[in-house]
């Protein structure tokens, strides 16, 4: 039965009524439900997931093993998270070990035979079904486990059967497995949904990389503006580049303090949206010259990036129109990496020029490593290699 369809009302306690354990269970279920509703009021599609884990590297630990029978076995060892509907997930190594001893280990398996593709590892929690836990008190009758925890289950879901949202109110994606030619491997670059950047070590590193990118870009554009003024450049190309650089400096000047002080405590979508806004600022300030020099400007900029005009503009458009997927954050970061590397390269070269308007000596060609999606292992880099 779907727990959402079963009401959990508070017990009507009256003097003299006969009571049993079910009354207390119903009362506890009502409390759990009310707590969930209160938490859900603060949760949206972009701020559920792993919680910041004070004192540990990550809020998640998964063991993935491949046995001799072409079977992948996934076991959960540690997880602190909140589902999209506000249900708490709290699994410590001690709890995981106790569940293994009691025959209730949180694990699942996948046969890799004829199963090429990508698969999500998904955890479900049912707070209204309980698993007894703990050592029994020898002096207590009847003998019982002293505590209970919610019922947890692991699932393997084919990526093709998943949409861009989470699987349900009680579910959270924790990992990703790739099977190629019958051989399974853990997708090391997969980042599960996180409540904030502080929830995952990879996100904290990426936050720092992007912060550095913003600072470098601000410095490059400031230097470009200063050179144009100092050398009194008045040609059309210098004027158009000046428009872009001034807009970038103005945007970064207003955004950077907020990014540095608050972004790490917010959902990853806030970090990515700032990159999307930067891309829009650059494209808008190119588009203002439609019919009065846009084509020449695009050719000039793409020439210094060793790209053709269409490829350069596509990188901007892809970033502007990015569809953020919270249960697979790395998909968005691939586009972010493409954009930040390209912009860092472009403005670095413009910054090194003595005069804006000078043509590159090289021929324009399509640089495949910029346009094509990079290999997953390279997605950690957001600056120039």
pLDDT digits (tens, 9 = 90+) for 109-135: 998 887 889 999 999 999 999 999 988
| Beta-strand runs (E) in the chain | 49-50, 60-66, 71-82, 88-91, 107-111, 117-133, 147-158, 171-180, 183-186
Q: How far apart, in whole angstroms, are the C-alpha atoms of residue 30 and residue 22?
A: 12
Using pLDDT thresholds of 50, 70 and 90, give the confidence band for residue 365.
very low
pLDDT for the residue 7:
80
Higher pLDDT, 269 or 303: 269
pLDDT tens digit sequence for 53-101 = 876 567 899 998 877 668 899 999 999 999 999 999 999 999 999 999 8
Helices (H), 231-267: 236-262
pLDDT for the residue 308:
85
Nearest to 84 by CA among 201, 175, 191, 173: 173
Q: How far apart, in whole angstroms, are the C-alpha atoms of residue 131 and residue 104?
A: 8
Measured between alpha carbons, how far is residue 143 from residues 95, 130, 275 in Å? 20, 17, 59
Considering just the CA atoms, what is the radius of gyration of the chain in Å? Answer: 27
- Residues in a beta bridge with 280: none
Across the range 19-37, mean pLDDT stands at: 92
Using pLDDT thresholds of 50, 70 and 90, give the confidence band for residue 358.
low
Q: What value does the mean pLDDT of the chain take?
A: 88
Q: What is the pTM of this model?
A: 0.86
pLDDT for the residue 385:
58
pLDDT tens digit sequence for 142-170 = 899 899 999 999 999 999 888 766 678 89
Cβ(175)–Cβ(186) below 8 Å:
yes
Percent of the chain exceeding pLDDT 90 equals 69
pLDDT at 221 over 70: yes
Using pLDDT thresholds of 50, 70 and 90, give the confidence band for residue 171.
very high
pLDDT for the residue 380:
58
pLDDT at 24 over 70: yes
The angle formed by the CA atoms of residues 23, 28 and 31, to the nearest 5 degrees, is 130
> 39-48, 104-113, 369-378 — which is least confidently predicted?
369-378
Q: Which residue has the tokens 């954050």?
A: 329
Nearest to 243 by CA among 263, 224, 268: 224
Percent of the chain exceeding pLDDT 70 equals 89
């Amino acid at each position: 039965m779907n727990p959402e369809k079963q009401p959990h009302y508070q017990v009507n306690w009256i003097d003299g009524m006969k009571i049993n354990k079910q009354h207390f269970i119903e009362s506890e279920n009502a409390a759990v439900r009310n707590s969930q509703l209160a938490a859900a009021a603060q949760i949206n599609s972009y701020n559920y997931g792993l919680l910041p884990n004070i004192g540990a590297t990550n809020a998640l630990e998964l063991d993935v093993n491949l046995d001799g029978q072409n079977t992948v076995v996934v076991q959960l060892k540690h997880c602190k998270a909140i589902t999209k509907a506000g249900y708490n997930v709290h699994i410590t190594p001690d709890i995981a070990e106790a569940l293994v001893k009691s025959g209730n280990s949180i694990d699942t398996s996948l046969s890799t035979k004829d199963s090429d593709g990508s698969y999500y590892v998904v955890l479900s929690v049912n707070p209204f079904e309980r698993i007894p836990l703990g050592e029994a008190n020898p002096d207590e009758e009847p003998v019982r486990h002293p505590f209970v925890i919610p019922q947890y289950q692991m699932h393997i879901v084919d990526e093709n059967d998943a949409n861009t949202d989470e699987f349900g109110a009680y579910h959270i994606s924790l990992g990703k497995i790739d099977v190629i030619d019958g051989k399974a491997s853990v997708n090391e670059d997969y980042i599960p949904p996180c409540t904030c950047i502080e929830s995952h070590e990879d996100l904290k590193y990426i936050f720092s990389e992007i912060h550095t990118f913003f600072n470098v870009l601000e410095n490059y554009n400031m230097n470009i503006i200063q050179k144009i003024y100092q050398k009194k450049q008045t040609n059309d190309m210098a004027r158009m580049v000046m428009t872009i650089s001034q807009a970038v400096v103005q945007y970064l000047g207003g955004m950077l303090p907020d990014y540095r002080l608050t972004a790490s405590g917010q959902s990853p979508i806030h970090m990515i949206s700032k990159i999307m806004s930067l891309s829009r600022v650059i494209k808008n300030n190119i588009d203002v010259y439609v019919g009065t020099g846009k084509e020449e400007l695009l050719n000039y900029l793409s020439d210094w990036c060793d790209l053709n005009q269409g490829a350069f503009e596509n990188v901007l458009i892809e970033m502007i129109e990015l569809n953020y997927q919270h249960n697979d954050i790395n998909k968005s970061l691939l586009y972010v990496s493409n954009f930040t590397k390209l912009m860092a390269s472009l403005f670095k070269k413009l910054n090194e020029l003595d005069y804006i308007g000078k043509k590159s000596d090289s021929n324009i060609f399509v640089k495949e490593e910029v346009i094509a999606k990079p290999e997953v292992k390279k997605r950690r880099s957001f600056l120039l290699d």
